[in-house]
Amino acid sequence: MELVKNPQMEEQFKRVYNRDVEIQNGKEFNEDGTVKKAVAEITSPNGVKYTLTEYMKDNATDFVLLDYGNNKQHRYKNYLEAEVNMAYQMGGEK
């Protein structure tokens, strides 16, 4: 899966969370053309990389994994919950 820089999402993230991040994202598709998973790699202002991976089932979110730091991983039911928790984690970075 190829990840592509997304300046529009970076600007939106900055407006919402007041964090200047770098974002790359991409999608992997099933044989029938539906989305299998969507990935966003977000690098915080402190250089910590966060990866949000949204797994799809029947064209809807099945679950979302948030990976960051030293092998820390959390599982969420939806993307928004994962994104908000990621922004919270960024606030606690040192």
Reading the chain (94 residues) residue by residue, the pLDDT tens digits are 899 999 999 999 999 999 999 999 999 999 999 999 999 999 999 999 999 999 999 989 999 999 997 888 999 999 999 999 999 999 888 6
pLDDT score of 69: 78
* CA dihedral (27, 29, 34, 37) positive or negative: negative
pLDDT score of 71: 85
Using alpha carbons, select from 2, 72, 74, 83 the residue that is nearest to residue 42.
83
